[in-house]
Amino acid sequence: MLSKLPGLAILLVIGLALMISFGVAQEASAIKLLAPQLNSGKLLMQALKERQSMRNFSEKPLALPALSNLLWAANGINRPESGKRTAPTAMNRQEIDVYVVLPEGIYLYDPKEHVLKIIASGDFRKLCGRQDFVAKAPVNLIYVADYAKMGSIEDETKKFYAATDAGFVAQNVYLFCASEGLACVVRGMVDRDALAKAMRLKPDHNIILAHTIGYPAE
Ligand SMILES: Cc1cc2nc3c(=O)[nH]c(=O)nc-3n(C[C@H](O)[C@H](O)[C@H](O)COP(=O)(O)O)c2cc1C
């Protein structure tokens, strides 16, 4: 069939195919996560025994099943009928968003679609914290509170609830990592202004904590 196309049309088709493939190589795109595997991991009591902060990471990327389970454990929807999540929030405001900083870009976890939406292409890991391991570990989660979702309570109360609610997400991640033999450390030391700019956050969005995750260094 190709032989019947005029030469110019063939060149155009080849050119278009090349442009598309280069475009895909340069720009990170959304990542469709896998359904959570509910029968994996250690018993809760064993995970509690092993929960700890670790700061020596392998640079190996996190496999998609592990990344998918991690995000669902962090703050996924565990009761689809009500849309409620693995982590509680004050007055069920669900104000904590989990951003995911991977070597290829910054993503926002969408728990309804169980997908990572692309926010920015490129390696922004250096902005996630000043400790050396942060820029090398394969995953940094950033817990962001959207104050606009918290109604008309006082700012001090918003701050208190947002910090508490992010803490629950962080503990889910700690337990998931302990259960799966992953290394992680939650971090308050973050240059919030620089990171917020890269993440294109709105004024109502406040970075609460960062959490570095990966396979333990060998
Ligand atoms: C709110 C909060 C902020 C933290 N910030 C940092 C941090 O910026 N850098 C870091 O290396 N560890 C940080 N940590 C981890 C603590 O240092 C760690 O939890 C503590 O030393 C106890 O160790 P464990 O988690 O192994 O029990 C933070 C922990 C919490 C709860």
Question: Given this model, what pLDDT does residue 28 score?
Answer: 82
* Pocket lining: 53 vs ligand 1, CB cutoff 6 Å: yes
Sign of CA dihedral 68, 76, 210, 99: positive
Q: Please report which residue ranges of 27-133 form alpha helices under DSSP H.
A: 44-50, 64-75
Q: Are strands 96-102 and 84-85 parallel, antiparallel or unpaired?
A: unpaired
Residue 69 contacts residue 37 (beta carbons within 8 Å)? yes
Give 24 Cα–ligand 1 centroid separation in angstroms: 38
For residue 48 and ligand 1, the question of a CB distance below 6 A is answered with no
| Best residue for ligand 1 mutational test, from 186, 189, 190 (most atoms within 8 Å of Cβ) | 186
Distance 29 CA to ligand 1 centre (A): 32
pLDDT of residue 6: 55
CA pair distance 103, 97, nearest whole angstrom: 20
**Which of 49, 185, 192, 195 is the pocket-test mutation for ligand 1 (most atoms within 8 Å of CB)?**
185
Q: Which among 20, 17, 24, 23 is positioned nearest to 2, based on CA atoms?
A: 17
**Residues 115 and 32: beta-carbon distance below 8 Å:** yes
User: Which residue from 43, 97, 56, 35 is spatially nearest to 182, judged by alpha carbons?
Assistant: 56
127 contacts 105 by C-beta, under 8 angstroms: no
pLDDT along the chain (218 residues), means of 10: 49 48 63 97 98 98 98 98 98 98 98 97 96 98 98 96 98 98 97 96 98 97
Q: What is the pLDDT of residue 27?
A: 77
**For residue 55, which atom of ligand 1 is closest to its CA?**
11
Residue whose CB lies within 8 A of the most ligand 1 atoms, among 53, 165, 173, for a mutation test = 53
What pLDDT was estimated at residue 1? 42
Strand order of the sheet with strand 183-187? Answer: 31-32, 115-121, 105-110, 96-102, 139-146, 205-214, 183-187
**CATH for 28-214?**
3.40.109.10
Pocket of ligand 1 contains residue 188 by CB under 6 Å: yes
- Residue nearest atom 5 of ligand 1, based on CA coordinates: 187
Q: Indicate if the alpha-carbon torsion angle 64, 137, 186, 31 is positive or negative.
A: negative
**pLDDT at position 110, please?**
98
**Domains of the chain, residue spans:** 28-214
Q: How far is the centre of ligand 1, averaged over its atoms, from the C-alpha of 88 (Å)?
A: 21
pLDDT, residue 21, reads: 46
